[in-house]
Amino acid sequence: MISKYEVLSTIEMIGTQNLDVRTITMGINLRDCASQDAKVCCDNIKRSITDKAKHLVRVGNDISSEFGVPIVNTRISVTPISEIAACSGTVDYTCFARALEEAAQDTGVNFIGGFGALVQKAQTRSDKALIESLPSALSQTERVCAFVNVGGTRSGLNMDAIAKMGDVIKETAQRTAQSGGIGCAKLVVFANAVEDNPFMAGAFCGSGEGDVAINVGVSGPGVVKSALEKVKGEPFDVVAETIKKTAFKVTRVGQIVAKEASARLGASFGIVDLSLAPTPAVGDSVARILAEIGVDICGMHGTTAALAMLNDAVKKGGVMASSHVGGLSGAFIPVSEDEGMIAAVQAGALSLDKLEAMTCVCSVGLDMVAIPGDTPASTISAIIADEAAIGMINNKTTAVRIIPVPGAGPGDLAEYGGLLGSAIVMDAGQSGSERLMSRGGRIPAPLQGIRN
């Protein structure tokens, strides 16, 4: 049993070190909403979500007040919409995005995820319709988040889908040009996507999930940095042990919040995600943790080694603190959402190439990276292909959330506000990918994917 005393003992971490529960995410299975009539299907979706999640925001607020733990967001993830809309007969899936938006407004959640498709091997008619609808759907909604899974260790890489996503991202940016291409901030392209991820924009309720589940994401970069300040000059063994112990404390907070929310909402306890998710706030940065470990500035030589140790130690500490660990779990490195990363880009220390190297050892991939608006679609697709290949070969989740900012060039600043922060536009290059991406087809699964 976890006592309330354990949560109260973290009061210093909450009060001065930016510890928070980043999200309570309710996963909702929508498979019983399918209909051959698109309007009926949309009505079923709204009814199902509003019925199951009607108390989600209130319960989150109650738990936050009772335990003194900040809960930043409440969110919903649903079954991939390409699966629910498949028999509807319509070719424009924007109506389903609007149904999700209305359900999110009715329930009061911050975001709703699951407008997406799993196309790691091939695309169905429904998958293609959903992908074609992404620019329209993301430009007409505010709270809807989307994903496309284009590859995996067991499946290889669907290069046709990857090539298409470059065009989709470019069009989405153009349709939301007045807000700096913010539609792309709500779209993630995955390899090895997980079914119980509570973090947006890539959350969805996978086929192995039940009817309703509660998944919680905790975050405490500031807590880890503060703990490391007390072991300055100590060897790496001590540093790793300190991170492990701190991750244990942080995860215990997520465990009790998840159990309480599940019980009060009559839902299954899904997972606690251990990820260190930074914010633009000073003192809440993964980059600053790396600096505390000893890297002069994030992006310099030694950054990848320090990040690898951090990611591993966070997982080792967290798995002892919760009976159900899942999601992504590790350290996020979203450029615009981490003030230390932003400073590193401004200082010229952190490039897109170095970020790619760091993604080999961190939790996800290239996250909230802004690039010039005139970057060719084939270049964006090639960036996605590179990142997906890292995930495929290393049997880990990788993702790309990239924003070609209309009218912007390298060094410009795009302001998105809130948790999305400020994005420094990074140089992505202009050529060299067209012949590669025009081949199409599928890159076969690697040898380590043949496990049976």
Q: Which residues contact 30 (CB under 8 A, 6 or more apart)?
A: 44, 45, 48, 49, 78, 79, 81, 84, 114, 205
The token pair at 353 is 């190439």
The pLDDT assigned to 70 comes to 80
Q: 272: which strand partners?
A: 216, 325
Q: Domain containing 312: what range? A: 216-441
Q: Is 325 helix (H, G, I), strand (E, B) or coil?
A: strand
Residue 16: per-residue pLDDT: 46
Domain membership of residue 260 (yes or no) is yes
Structure tokens at 234: 């100590």
Residue 59 within any structural domain of the chain: yes
**Is residue 421 assigned to a domain?**
yes
Do residues 276 and 356 share a domain? Answer: yes
Would you state the pLDDT for residue 336? 78
pLDDT for residue 112: 95
Residue 451 covered by a domain = no
Same domain, 78 and 222: no
Token pair for 86: 């498949």
Maximum CA pair distance of the chain? 66
Q: Are 220 and 161 members of one domain?
A: no
List the 144-149 sheet strands across, edge first.
268-273, 212-219, 20-28, 71-78, 111-118, 144-149, 187-191, 398-405, 366-372
Q: Are 185 and 243 in a shared domain?
A: no
**Cβ neighbours of 21 (radius 10 Å):** 30
Q: Could you tell me which of 140, 146, 113 has the C-alpha nearest to residue 127? A: 146
Do residue 430 and residue 364 come from a single domain?
yes
Burial annotation 29-52 (CB, 10 A radius, 16+ → b, else e): bbeebbbeebeebbebbbebbeeb
Residue 303, SS3 per DSSP: helix
Helices (H), 155-301: 159-175, 221-228, 236-265, 286-293
Q: Which of 308, 306, 368 is nearest to 335 (CA)?
A: 368
Look at residue 19 in the predicted model and tell me its pLDDT. Answer: 67
Q: Are residues 181 and 254 in the same domain?
A: no
Task: Tell me whether residue 5 is in a domain.
Answer: no
The verdict on 161 and 260 lying in the same domain is: no
Please check whether residues 151 and 220 belong to one and the same domain: no
Q: Let me know if residue 89 belongs to a domain.
A: yes
- Euclidean distance between CA atoms 369 and 284, whole angstroms: 18
pLDDT of residue 256: 83
The token duo for 65 is 């007040």
Q: How many structural domains are present in the chain?
A: 2
d(CA 430, CA 451): 39
- Judge if the upstream peptide bond of residue 201 is cis by omega within 30 degrees of 0: yes
Q: Is the separation of the CB atoms in 191 and 388 below 8 Å?
A: yes
- Let me know whether 113 and 237 are in one domain: no
- Pick from 150, 174, 191: which residue ends a domain? 191
CB atoms within 10 A of CB 413: 15
Same domain, 252 and 157: no
The backbone torsions φ and ψ at residue 320, rounded to the nearest 5 degrees and listed phi first, read -85, -10
* Residue 52 counted as domain residue: yes
CATH number, domain of 304, equals: 3.20.70.20
pLDDT of residue 285: 83
Residues with Cβ < 8 Å from 210, sequence gap 6 or more? Answer: 29, 268
Residue 112 belongs to some domain of the structure: yes
222 and 166 fall within a common domain = no
- Stated pTM of the model: 0.90
Distances in whole angstroms, Cα of residue 269 to Cα of each of 214, 323, 369, 430? 5, 10, 33, 47
C-alpha distances (whole Å) from 113 to each of 28, 196, 371, 443 are 10, 12, 24, 28
Classify 213 as helix, strand or coil.
strand
117 and 225 both lie in a single domain: no
Q: How far apart are alpha carbons 259 and 69 in whole angstroms?
A: 14
| Beta sheet of 442-443, edge-to-edge order | 151-152, 156-158, 442-443
Q: What is the mean pLDDT, run by run of 10 residues, along the chain of 452 residues?
A: 52 54 90 93 95 94 84 92 91 95 95 95 95 96 96 95 96 92 93 89 88 87 82 90 85 84 90 77 79 90 92 84 77 80 87 90 85 93 95 92 92 79 82 86 85 72
